[in-house]
Amino acid sequence: MRLLLRMLTSLAVGALVVVFIWRFSPQEADAPDPSVAMLADCTGALGATIACAPPSESPPPSKAREAPCPQCGQDENFWRSKTSKPPPELLGKAAALVDAGCGRLILGKSPYERLPPASLVKMATALAVVDAGRNNDLVNVTINGWDLSAEDGSSIMGLEAGMQMTVEELLWGLLLASGNDAAVQLGLYLGGEQKILDQMNQKAAQLGLQNTQFRNLHGLDAPGQYSSAFDLTVIGRAVLDQPLLSGIVSTQFHQTTWNPRGLWNGNWLMYIYPDVKGVKTGYTEEAGGTIVAAAQRDGRLLVTSVLNSADVYWDSLRLFNWAFDNVKDVC
């Protein structure tokens, strides 16, 4: 009897296998239902249904963000299409005049030539410091600005070891007094000079600058450190777009708690030209006089940069007045 039962069971199983093969033969089967396939994938042991998510599509490969190219498509003689009045003769070796509303280069004099920028480097230093997001940090000052001044003639804000002040207060000294001591102290506090320097060069790349390379945080002459008049107008516009930095560079005088004399803006345009909005000046023996300046009239903002000039203020004033009076509807 047991043998008979085993034989009947084997026959029944064999019949089921034949039916299964016939039903699901590739030649006869219907196109698989995606929902059934998904359900099959979600079936656990002993046929128990388990929770599973529907298959997700692979995300498309992300595109690398392309850097802008502010230099592309520019014409250093664009002014000719707007006026017949020629621009003033300049004392500077290189210059660029830009309408900040759209970044259009109105006039250029060797605008892409690589030249030492002197303390205009500090604009990039300030941008890197602000990007660090630690403006309210309290810094224990460890350097003496007067030692730097005696060593290489550095311009200083007057730091002395043992002082305490915030990163923001150091930024005021960096941009108003053009303090090399502020630049050095900020580098020390924020991870070392090289770290900030790398961030400055990364920022230059992000802005699409093609003729700029930084080698220190303060702008003293150094091999391989250069920028161009045009690139510096781009950096100047970035400073003006940053609320804290824009407020600093457009201020004539800043009262401090650590020095009753306060800090005066070293950009003399702030006192002689009512339309001026900043930004920064510089000087070294190799660089000569350098400036990035901004002026606004009737809602229109112009930014100029002059390098290696015997009188950066004279050059800037004449460029602004000529452009405001003669070059209209640029953007």
Active site residue 149: no
Active site residue 84: no
Catalytic residue from among 109, 110, 119, 154: 119
142/70 Cα distance (integer angstroms): 40
Catalytic residue from among 122, 203, 277, 280: 122
Active site residue 119: yes
**In terms of Cα–Cα distance, which of 268, 327, 267, 280 is closest to 302?**
327
- Is there a contact between 328 and 104 (Cβ–Cβ < 8 Å)? no
Catalytic residue from among 110, 154, 155, 178: 178
- b vs e for 207-242, b when ≥16 Cβ sit within 10 Å of the residue's Cβ? bebbbbebbbbbbbebeebbbbbbbbbbbbbbbbee
Three-class SS string for the chain?
CHHHHHHHHHHHHHHHHHHHHHHCCCCCCCCCCHHHHHHHHCECHHHCECCCCCCCCCCCCCCCCCCCCCCCCCCCCHHHHCCCCCCCCCCCCEEEEEECCCCEEEEEECCCCCECCHHHHHHHHHHHHHHCCCCCCEEECCCCHHHHHHHHCCCCCCCCCCCEEEHHHHHHHHHCCCCHHHHHHHHHHCCCHHHHHHHHHHHHHHCCCCCCECCCCCCCCCCCCEECHHHHHHHHHHHHHCHHHHHHHCCCEECCCCCCCCEECCCCHHHHCCCEEEEEEEEECCCEEEEEEEEEECCEEEEEEEEEECCHHHHHHHHHHHHHHHCCCCC
Catalytic machinery residues: 119, 122, 178
